Structure 1
Amino acid sequence: MKGKNEKSVPVNGSRRRLKYLIPKWQLVTRFLSQQSGIVIGSALAALGYVLFQLPFQIAAGGISGLIIVINNYIPVSVGLLYMLINIPLIIWGYYSLGGLRFIFSTSVSVVSFSVFSDIFVRYLPDMMRRYPVSEDLLLNTIYAGVVFGFGAGLIYRAGGTIGGTSIPARILQKHTGFPLSQSYMVTDMAIILLAGFVFSWEKAMLATLALLLGGMVSDFVLEGVSQVRIAMIITEHPKMMSHTLMNELQRGVSTWSVTGAYTEQSRSMLYCTVRRSQVSDLKYIVSAVDEKAFLVIGNAQQAYGGFGFTHLKPAKKT
């Protein structure tokens, strides 16, 4: 039986449950914050594109790279062309991928990137004492990847995409099971190869470098620096090991029984999450308690909760 103040939570659809559990004003605030992040990220990506890619024909994949190739033959507004190419892709994505929120966020990103690109193309040369900033191709390639990737990372972090080849890549992954990262690589490398034929293979190589740097930077912005390590320890002394780890490292430990498939002997496995700076102490403690222990240390991106990590903040009740 339900209490007087207990609410029945819908079971069909996680989004319905989320709307039911979190106050509406918080959802609206989060949505507006996400869209603001998408606009800011699009502006930054457009700045990197106009400042470092366009002047040197560094077509680092995507529709933005394709536009650089097209602009070599047809001098047309960069922002307008980006928007026109993305419109059929967004419609295709709507029918193939669904999700109004995904399509809306992508549309905001595409429109923002298009508008800011045209603004920067028009006003940057007049506003800056020197445009482009540098004539060094390698330097421009590095900053093209860093600045564009940082902007793209802000867009991804806000739950959107920058449009372009990300839509056919997702559709390819959905219908064929092809890994998403490889789908991106196929579509982007096809455009880089085209740029190699049109411009030069040296610029195609630089575009590949910008693409890789952009991916690394966007991942960094999306997930942050990995400061957390997870440790799994198989030992014959679980109580001594867990107590030592908790006392010395001030970290929580979980334990459960396991059986070796080959030896068929029972052991205990301990699971512990530590910060990267504690890995050396962790290895020393494990070896001191049980030199025959089996230790595996892996990377983790983020950790939330007690025992010295950031606490998750629950939604405030209205």
Structure 2
Amino acid sequence: MRSAAVPTKNNPLATAHTLKDDIYGLALGVMFIAVGLNLLKFSGMVTGGIAGIALLISYYLPLSIGLLFTLVNIPFLVFCYFSMGRAFTIKTLIVSITLGLATQAVPMLITISYLHPLFAALVGGTFIGMGILSLARHNASVGGTGGVTLWLYRRFGINAGKSQMALDALVFLLSLIKMPLLLLLWSALSALAMNAMLMNWHKPGRYQGGDA
């Protein structure tokens, strides 16, 4: 079983992903993002996109990041269904639920006694960017603003990293209400690390076997 219509005008030699490829790629994406989110949460940071929105709300409400991630994602999943299609939305829904569970499981599997904010920002942001990239290469996203940026990329050719960075700016403006400036600057570094992955690697024709 293979993903349909993978070769594109920009990458006519691309070969379709098998079901095994998709499962492995989506699992890697979920793993990277879950670890990255917990690194940022431990340091009290936020980041961009739907992950940043969930993290920010978690500092106001006594709910887990995983649950908030799923709840905040609902309106964005509706958008994905009408703009990106049924297959993309189903994969994204599965990713959203799995990521919510994985994000809650990570603190039960590892214990961190000290974490430098520079490490948390760079590694946490990079992990999240790697996860988003892995999902995008297998026709899925974490939902939220990630689905919007992929739609902008496919519809208008706007670089996913650049559009994501613009949307992230809105999250950080809201974060100013709650967070100290220094912590917000560390958080901005994490978003820069995350978006650097997308700006450098999410490009037409970079890989064979991808949808983007």
Whole-Å separation in 2 of the counterparts to 1:215 and 1:47: 17
What's the offset of the Cα at 1:211?
Answer: 1.3
Return the offset for 1:79. 0.7
Is the 1:43–1:112 contact (alpha carbons within 8 Å) kept by the matching residues of 2?
no
Alignment partners' CA distance in 1, 2:92 and 2:137 = 13
1:118 alignment counterpart = 104
Report the equivalent of 2:182: 202
* Paired amino acid for 2:172: I
Per-residue deviation, 1:301:
4.9
Q: What corresponds to 2:172 in structure 1? A: 192
The TM-score with structure 1 as length reference comes to 0.54
Percent of residue pairs bearing the same amino acid type? 20
Report whether the alignment pairs 1:138 with 2:118: yes
| Contact 2:129–2:195, Cα closer than 8 Å, also in 1 | yes
Provide, for residues 14-38 of structure 1, a one-character-per-residue CA deviation record: whole Å limited to 9, x for no partner: 8499xxxxxxxx97x7033213311
Larger Rg: 1
Equivalent position of 2:86 in the other structure: 100
Per the alignment, residue 63 of structure 2 pairs with 76
Matched position secondary structure for 2:18:
helix
| Shift of residue 42, structure 1, vs aligned partner | 0.6
Which amino acid in 1 is paired with 2:100? S
Q: Note closer, same or farther for the CA distance 1:220–1:187 as it changes in structure 2 (3 Å cut).
A: closer
Following superposition of structure 1 onto structure 2, how do residues 191-230 of structure 1 map, counting pairs within 5 Å? 191-218=171-198
Is this contact kept in 1: 2:43–2:117, CA < 8 A?
yes
Amino acid at match of 1:179: I
Q: Which has the higher helix share?
A: 2
Report what 2:144 is aligned to.
Answer: 164
Count of residue pairs brought into register by the alignment: 198
How far off its partner does 1:78 sit?
1.3
With structure 2 as the length reference, what TM-score do the two structures score?
A: 0.78
The separation in 2 between residues aligned to 1:165 and 1:158, in whole angstroms, is 17
Q: Tell me how large the CA RMSD over aligned residues is.
A: 3.3
Within a 5 Å distance, the mapping from 1:1-318 to structure 2 comes to: 15=5, 30-50=18-38, 52-95=39-82, 97-121=83-107, 123-124=108-109, 127-128=110-111, 131-134=112-115, 136-170=116-150, 179-181=158-160, 182-218=162-198, 301=206
- Secondary structure of the corresponding residue to residue 197 of structure 1: coil
Contact 2:58 2:68 in 1 (8 A): no
Cα distance in 1 for residues equivalent to 2:56 and 2:193: 21
The residue number in structure 1 matching 2:11 is: none
Please state whether the residue corresponding to 1:199 is helix, strand or coil.
coil
Q: Kindly provide the CA deviation profile for residues 168-198 of structure 1, in whole angstroms up to 9, marking residues without a partner as x.
A: 34556788x5935443222211002211231
Instruction: Choose between structure 1 and 2 for higher RCO, CA contacts under 8 A separated by at least 6 residues.
Output: 2
